């Protein structure tokens, strides 16, 4: 995924994507199920997703430098994540990419990768 980081616009592009994603999640009731899994103040969530996506898209491994291996599934086990939450997370991320004008080929590549990861986070039916 190394090229994805640069294609998103590097640090500034990843930050814009994360900020738009959480702004949408926080303001649109269509994402309520996934929003309620987060704390009231999204500051820490924003920062952690930014750090994670930086390395995940091929940029600097900021998350692992600060927190070690992400252990995504383990870190998400306390939260009830089913298809509804997965699908809302995906819809919110796809909308953020659309609104930021992420190029179609990159958006498609990221959507496939995001879905694989989001689906892996599911820990309950429904």
What are the boundaries of each domain within the chain? 2-120
Architecture per CATH, domain 2-120, reads as Orthogonal Bundle (1.10)
* Per-residue pLDDT reduced to its tens digit, 41-98: 999 999 999 999 999 999 999 999 999 999 998 999 899 999 999 999 999 999 999 9
- Give Dmax (Cα) for the chain: 37
Interatomic CA distance for residues 72 and 64, integer angstroms: 12
Which are the contacts of 99, defined by CB distance < 8 A and separation ≥ 6?
A: 20, 24
Which are the contacts of 17, defined by CB distance < 8 A and separation ≥ 6?
A: 8, 53, 96, 97, 100, 102
Contact 50, 10 (CB under 8 A): no
pLDDT band at 2 (very low <50, low <70, confident <90, very high): low
């Amino acid at each position: 995924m190394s090229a994805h980081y640069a294609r998103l616009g590097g640090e500034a592009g990843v930050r814009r994507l994360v900020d738009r994603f959480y702004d949408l999640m926080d303001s649109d009731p269509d994402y309520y199920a996934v929003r309620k899994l987060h704390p009231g103040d999204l500051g820490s969530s924003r920062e952690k997703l930014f750090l994670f996506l930086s390395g995940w898209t091929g940029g600097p491994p900021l998350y692992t430098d600060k927190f070690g291996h992400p252990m995504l599934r383990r870190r998400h086990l306390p939260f009830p994540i089913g298809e509804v939450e997965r699908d809302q997370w995906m819809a919110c991320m796809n909308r953020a990419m659309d609104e930021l004008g992420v190029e179609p080929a990159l958006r498609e590549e990221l959507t496939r990768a995001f879905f694989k990861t989001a689906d892996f986070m599911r820990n309950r039916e429904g």
